[in-house]
Amino acid sequence: MKKLLTILGSVTLIGNTSLLPISCTNKTSMKEKIDDNVPRELTTIKTIPTIGGIKTALKVYDKNINIDKFDVDILPGMQNAIIRYLPNENNLDYLTKEIHLEWTTNDLTKILSVTSLAYSSIDMPVYDENLVLNCINLLNGTALTVDDVDVSVNTSEHSAIIRAKQGRNFLGEVNIINENLTFDQLVKENELGTITINEEVYKDYTGDKKPLKPLTLGATVMEYLGDRNRAFTVYQNAFSSILLSAKLEYELFENEGTFSLTYNKNNIISPSSFKVHFNFIVNTNKYYLNANNEKIDPVGILDPTPTIKLKINWMLLPNDNFNLIRRKVIIATLGQEFINKYNDILDDEINVINVDYNKGVITLAPKAGSRLFEISDQKAKIMTKKVYYEVLAQFDISANNESGF
């Protein structure tokens, strides 16, 4: 049981907002939308510069907008943000819009509502400025950089001060203290959208003889939970021990379900709980990053990772960015039509794992919890009973006569 809980906890589990107005070039054009009200002509949002602030402003502008189908990424410097429309339905387009942020405040004390950062030795082997800033950004839905702020770290107390740089865009300073968090600070997205559950896992859960059935379903749900709530990545390793003392509860109905966790100890997380809702499909209606969308079957835990090898007729150059590489791989597997439909979100759906420009070999894998691809986390596949695989793309490198395959 302990070993299975540890595996479950190792799954990649990738502030206050104000009711603020939105300005756009032509408000009436907001009527031209797809399904759940995609604001096509949106150019500027007036808001506190956080992910939560942006979503709240969208909802205030139009109560019919389903913000659960929007994913928001704030760009470094926090002057602009990317809004992705993710309908979780393969017959609808996934759209992306870059918008400008007009701040209602530049005061760090009002922007950074989560200033607790409990120290975890297994997740924070090096407690430095970069770690603190990255964690605080994840916890607050911000994208502050070292160009915006200075970070002073007290390594003995595992605390810090984040101070706005003089002459830059922000004001004020906040103290980051070593104290426990609560789950409401980690789980900001309670609607997970549509997830896929392996048929065997589903039968395990709905059967009446297997005592570990909640764990296999829990691993599946938490992959999606972590992708939608990326603050969990701050404590990915510590979460294993938290699960040993947590109470997990699930409910499955005809095509939807809930997952809740209650924790009553004081170790990184104070006594608290959360509950998320999801729709589900048994087996999959998603894609495989393989030629002609050919299914890739799960393998045993001791079997080698399935590897899809591709040869791509494109001269790879050191300045080729990852987005170009992703698109070349997709053209070689799922085709141009797939790119035409999902182009705007591919950078967030496929991870580039390794790059060898000399040999022209790029290793990629879709992310766990993907909205497009069927795949599991490498450590969690034994629980989710889904496949983890990698794609090795050999690009043309005739200029240097060295091959990776």
* 405 residues of the chain, pLDDT tens digit each: 444 444 344 444 433 332 233 333 333 333 334 334 455 667 888 999 999 999 888 888 777 777 777 788 899 999 999 888 776 555 556 677 888 999 999 999 999 999 999 999 999 999 999 999 999 999 999 999 999 999 999 999 999 999 999 999 999 999 999 999 999 999 999 999 889 999 988 888 887 655 555 678 888 999 999 999 989 889 988 887 787 788 889 889 988 999 999 999 988 999 999 999 999 999 876 899 999 899 998 888 778 999 999 999 988 888 888 889 999 999 999 999 898 888 878 888 999 999 998 899 999 999 998 888 999 988 888 889 999 999 999 998 774 444 555
Give all strands of the β-sheet with 173-176 in edge-to-edge order. 149-154, 159-164, 173-176
**Do 50 and 147 have their domain in common?**
no
Residues 278 and 316 in one domain: no
Q: Are residues 225 and 271 in the same domain?
A: yes
| 336 and 385 share one domain | yes
The whole-angstrom separation of Cα 63 and Cα 172 is: 34
Residues 230 and 269 in one domain: yes
Supply the pLDDT for residue 90: 52
The pLDDT assigned to 28 comes to 30
Give the integer Cα–Cα distance in Å for 196 and 283. Answer: 6
How far apart CA 362 and CA 23 sit, in angstroms, is 42
Report the pLDDT value the prediction gives residue 179, as an integer from 0 to 100.
Answer: 96
In a domain, 57, yes or no: yes
Distance CA(345)–CA(158), nearest Å, equals 37
pLDDT at 261: 93
Question: Where among 149, 166, 181 does a domain terminate?
Answer: 181
Domain count, the chain: 4
Same domain as 319, residue 270 = no
* Residue 353, pLDDT score: 93
- Predicted confidence at residue 29, as pLDDT, reads 33
Q: Integer distance in angstroms from the first to the last C-alpha of the chain?
A: 41
User: Which pLDDT value is given to residue 216?
Assistant: 83
Judgement on whether residues 273 and 203 belong to the same structural domain of the protein: yes
User: Could you list the residue range(s) of the whole structural domain that residue 176 is in?
Assistant: 109-181
Are 301 and 374 within one domain? yes
Same domain, yes or no, for 193 and 250?
yes
DSSP 34-81: -SS---TTEEEEEE-SSHHHHHHHHHHH-TT--GGGEEEEEPTTSSEE
Query: What does pTM read for this prediction?
Result: 0.82
Task: Tell me: do 194 and 265 sit in the same domain.
Answer: yes
The DSSP 8-state label assigned to residue 238 in this structure reads T
CA nearest 254: which of 193, 202, 191?
Answer: 202
Shared domain check, 191 and 247: yes
Q: DSSP secondary-structure letter at 8?
A: H
403 lies in some domain: no
Residues 98, 130 within the same domain: no
Residue 405 lies in a domain: no
Query: Does residue 402 sit within a domain?
Result: no
Q: Quick check: is 86 in a domain?
A: yes
In a domain, 401, yes or no: no
Boundary of a domain, candidates 131, 148, 181 = 181
For residue 175, being part of any structural domain is answered with yes
Report d(CA 223, CA 278) in Å as an integer: 12
User: Residue 358's closest CA among 326, 329, 395?
Assistant: 395
In a domain, 404, yes or no: no
Final residue in a domain of this structure, among 237, 265, 282? 282
